[in-house]
Amino acid sequence: MRVLLSGNEAVARGCYEHGVKVATAYPGTPSTEILENVVKYKDDVYCQWSPNEKVAFEVAMGASFGGVRTITAMKHVGLNVAADPLMTSTSVGGDGGFVIVTADDPGMHSSQNEQDNRYYAKFAKIPLVEPADSQEVKDYLGAAFEISERFGTPVLFRLTTRISHAKTPVELGERTEVARKEYVKDTSRRVVIPAHARRLHVAVEKRLEEIRRFAEDSPLNRIEEGDPAVGVISSGIAYEYARDAFPTATFLKLGLSFPFPIDLAREFCSRFETVYIVEENEPFIEEHLRIAGITNVIGKEKIPVCGELNQGIVRDSVAKNPAPSDRAQVPPRPPVLCPGCPHRSTFFTLNRMNIGSTSDIGCYTLGVMPPLEGLDTCICMGASIGNALGFEKAIGKEFAKKMVAVIGDSTFVHSGMTGLADVAYNKGATTVIILDNSITAMTGHQEHPGTGVTLMGEPTIKLDYIALAKSMGIEDARKVDAYDLEAVKAAIGETTENPEASLLVVEGPCVLMDRKSWGPALEVNAEDCTACGMCLRLGCPAISKDDEGKAAINPLFCVGELCSMCAQVCPVKCISVPVEAAAS
Amino acid sequence: MDKVTNVFISGVGGQGILLASEVLSEVALARGLDVKKSEVHGMAQRGGSVVSHVRFGEKVYSPVIAEREADLLVSFEKMEGLRWIHFLAPGGTVIVNSQEIVPSGMEAYPDGMDEGIRERQPDALLLDALGLAREAGNARSVNVVMLGAFSNYLEFSEDEWTKAIEARVPPKTIDVNLKAFRLGREAGRR
Ligand SMILES: Cc1ncc(C[n+]2csc(CCOP(=O)(O)OP(=O)(O)O)c2C)c(N)n1
């Protein structure tokens, strides 16, 4: 059967068909839907969300030691978090097939940087497999497992946003079971004391050369004959753009691009006067060629390093006189905190109290937008707490009253707990605010250890933030209802005044999770409204000004009484539940 | 049919763009064509600008449409139509829902959007998809009204569209959606 699957769905289908038994991940766009789809095969494939990518990686590595085919999936920056196990797993690997899926985000559609994770393959000295569409994703995943098992190495499997999130046709197949390899204790391989590690490094170098020879004539690296005068080398999604930009050219398409098949590339390049190297972001292929002294190539001198490519950009970058872009001037439409979002009260309150925040990554990062403007910093997951402590150590304890750490619940579990321990241990006065909406919202609502449900849908133990903080020695650990503005203000006031560390958990479930809780939209009594603009300071997309400057609530957007932050801030109390609704 | 057909759909997160592009892709796939459809997830529910690219034909490589390549540029919201109009191919068709959604952070809807669209594409078709959706019985069926409107400009039959819609929408909403589709299809004819 031929169906349309996204690249992420194709990874999941590939896990099923190629006999994977364990799959782990921490969510992150554009990789999230991989595990969300693997769970559809949960009778055959055990799958789980881990608290972060490092743990996800380690669980997968353990499962590979245990002898079964395993994947772990993450977004590009997730591999930074898992880089420690990655760098050593590569000398140990070689039990059940082990594939690490990285989903990079050229163009930074939903990311803080544009790092090109192909370099991780080179850095960690493991094979790199790069599919270009969903069919290849599914097929190459099988090839990746074979390479992993044959050479005893983890394999890096690289997707990018336009592979992960593009749907393309895929021919479905059946599942092939792969027998578990019996576990045999072998400390010389799995315990990396220096004496063992020195020997393992030599083995890795030897293995790399063997895989390179294998890559030279692997079917994953293919030549597509065309115009004998124009040669193009490309891989991954860039290959698709290049095919459209150079419709008649001869192509060397790389699917197993590290260890780099240099003989194949050299032979290919020798057939042409110049060869175009089409790559998104970094010159990964180009560097291999240039280091080998192959210089009849055109790559990054023409094709941009920054941003996502497409066929138009590739075409224009090599054209003599590209037509200028004819973009119209239109005001931006950035994403914003949703109407009814529980995060709004914290940023509104901080803003009113003139307190800044070191913050973190999640929906709440949108609190940076006017009029809330509640963020001073946002760097990477978990950074908020360490950053706040650093500010305090640099400027003085008093500064902790003016700068709190704001972090989401999923992010806190991901990498905030160690920061909190640091605050306690190093006697910080820092106030840490956990915005607990009981879900990983930004990436589309995934469970985590603080929600009490697993990926496979089973109820489980729920992390207690208050008890955790107390066990670290933080006495002032408390909760507050996100929708009670007075209480939020009082709690922030008290915790920041406290000269010792405090933890404040602001609780309110994400409004998108339970649409049934939405009531009729609130209404403004225009007669009483003084056009003071107070409610507009909430930055709620449902509230705007009418012609007279008075507040108007869009009934299609407002979630009703459950939020009512606007009614709470209105000094003349002219916002309320509609009369008919209140009566019924 | 050698040439690839490029349909570019834009709008605001929450307008149901992904459903429309999904139905179109399924129709093309059922015809036995090669199809690629691309969009970016993540921000869709948070009121941002959203686009979906659908390309189909004998053989499709890139899953995205580049500037000046869209045969059909469809927008579910007026200013989003103008924002992406540079993706239109010379001689391409523009169909825009005249609905106005004020971007958050702006106090009023900006002027000059209609003119901007007409300046670049004098025979752009602007229609009141929200009104037609209400007439069909559900304001949320704007996406299917728009699907009906642009279906006139693609080579698939009404029957092929209907089948794909029936397969894709919740069973309880089939009638409303088919009505929305027909109203859109009528309004989109010239
Ligand atoms: C290392 C890393 N992994 C994953 C992500 C993707 N990501 C961004 S925010 C986020 C979690 C947000 O959840 P939470 O902290 O609960 O905040 P919410 O969005 O629910 O407000 C994730 C997984 C990332 N940016 N970096």
Tens digit of each residue's pLDDT (9 = 90 or more) over B84-124: 999 999 999 999 999 999 887 787 889 999 999 999 999 99
pLDDT value, residue B1: 43
Q: Which two tokens stand for residue A366?
A: 């949108």
Distance CA A499, CA A468 (A): 20
Rg (CA), chain A: 27
Q: CA of B170 to nearest chain A CA: how many angstroms apart?
A: 17
CATH at A579: 3.30.70.20
Shared domain for A297 and A406, answered yes or no, is: no
User: Angle CA(A250)–CA(A252)–CA(A253) in degrees, nearest 5?
Assistant: 120
Shared domain for A559 and A485, answered yes or no, is: no
Give the pLDDT band of residue A584 (cuts 50, 70, 90): low
Please report where in the chains the tokens 């109203």 appear, as a residue. Answer: B183
CATH at A193: 3.40.50.970
Q: Are B117 and B85 in contact (CB under 8 A)?
A: yes
pLDDT value, residue A198: 95
Q: Within 10 Å of residue A336's Cβ, how many Cβ atoms?
A: 24
User: Angle CA(A45)–CA(A11)–CA(A182) in degrees, nearest 5?
Assistant: 40
Q: Which residues of A touch B63 (CB under 8 A)?
A: 133, 162, 166, 168, 237, 240
On average, the pLDDT of chain A sits at 96
pLDDT tens for residues A249-308? Answer: 999 999 999 999 999 999 999 999 999 999 999 999 999 999 999 999 999 999 999 999
Q: Answer yes or no: is A338 within a domain.
A: no
Question: Is residue B2 scored above 70 in pLDDT?
Answer: no
User: Does A328 contact B85 at a Cβ distance shorter than 8 Å?
Assistant: yes
pLDDT value, residue A90: 85
pLDDT value, residue B106: 81
| CA count, 13 A, side-chain hemisphere, A32 | 16
On average, the pLDDT of chain B sits at 94
Which chain B residue lies closest to A512 (C-alpha atoms)? B45
Question: Is residue A246 scored above 90 in pLDDT?
Answer: yes
Shared domain for A416 and A363, answered yes or no, is: yes
Selection from A25, A67, A62 nearest residue A47 by Cα: A25
> Across the interface, which of B12, B66, B120 has its CB nearest the CB of A333?
B12
ω into A259 cis (within 30 of 0):
yes
Q: CA of B36 to nearest chain A CA: how many angstroms apart?
A: 5
Q: Within 10 Å of residue A258's Cβ, how many Cβ atoms?
A: 28
Which of A318, A353, A376 corresponds to the end of one domain?
A: A318
pLDDT tens for residues A529-555? Answer: 999 999 999 999 999 888 899 999 989
CA of A550 to the centre of ligand 1 (A): 37
Residue A34 amino acid letter: I
What residues form DSSP beta bridges with A357? A404
φ, ψ at A555 (rounded to 5°)? -65, -20
Q: Answer yes or no: is A379 within a domain.
A: yes
pLDDT value, residue B42: 65
Shared domain for A199 and A240, answered yes or no, is: no
Selection from B163, B99, B106, B136 nearest residue A332 by Cα: B106
Shared domain for A138 and A229, answered yes or no, is: no
Q: Answer yes or no: is A325 within a domain.
A: no
User: Does A29 contact B42 at a Cβ distance shorter than 8 Å?
Assistant: yes
Q: What is the tally of structural domains in chain A? A: 4
> Across the interface, which of A168, A336, A337 has its CB nearest the CB of B36?
A168
Q: Which residues of A touch B39 (CB under 8 A)?
A: 165
Distance CA B85, CA B74 (A): 9
pLDDT value, residue B44: 56
pLDDT mean over A214-233:
98
- Confirm whether the ipTM is greater than 0.85: yes
Kindly report the length of chain B: 190
User: Does A334 contact B29 at a Cβ distance shorter than 8 Å?
Assistant: no
User: Does A539 contact B105 at a Cβ distance shorter than 8 Å?
Assistant: yes
Q: Which two tokens stand for residue B6?
A: 């490029």
Rg (CA), chain B: 15
Give the pLDDT band of residue A581 (cuts 50, 70, 90): low
Closest residue by Cα to atom 5, ligand 1, is A28
For A388-420, letters b (16+ CB in 10 Å) and e give: bbbbbeeeeeebbbbbbbbbbbbbbbbbbbebb
pLDDT mean over A370-385:
96
Shared domain for A207 and A235, answered yes or no, is: no
CATH at B37: 3.40.920.10
pLDDT tens for residues A454-492? Answer: 999 999 999 999 999 999 999 999 999 999 999 999 999
Q: Answer yes or no: is A327 within a domain.
A: no
Range of the domain at B63: 5-188
Q: Which two tokens stand for residue A563?
A: 């939020």
Q: Are A232 and A252 in contact (CB under 8 A)?
A: yes
Q: Are B17 and B9 in contact (CB under 8 A)?
A: yes
Q: Which atom of ligand 1 is nearest to the CA of A111?
A: 25
Three-class SS state of A251: strand
Q: Answer yes or no: is A329 within a domain.
A: no
Shared domain for A232 and A204, answered yes or no, is: no
Ligand 1, pocket-test mutation among A442, A446, A507, A511, most atoms within 8 A of CB? A442
Q: Answer yes or no: is A323 within a domain.
A: no
Q: Is-above-0.95 flag for pTM?
A: yes
Range of the domain at A111: 2-217
Report the percent of chain A where pLDDT is more than 70: 99
Q: Answer yes or no: is A23 within a domain.
A: yes
Q: Which residues contact A43 (CB under 8 A, 6 or more apart)?
A: none
Q: Answer yes or no: is A62 within a domain.
A: yes
Shared domain for A369 and A256, answered yes or no, is: no
- Residue A81: CB within 6 Å of ligand 1? yes
Q: What is the tally of structural domains in chain B? A: 1
User: Does B25 contact A544 at a Cβ distance shorter than 8 Å?
Assistant: no
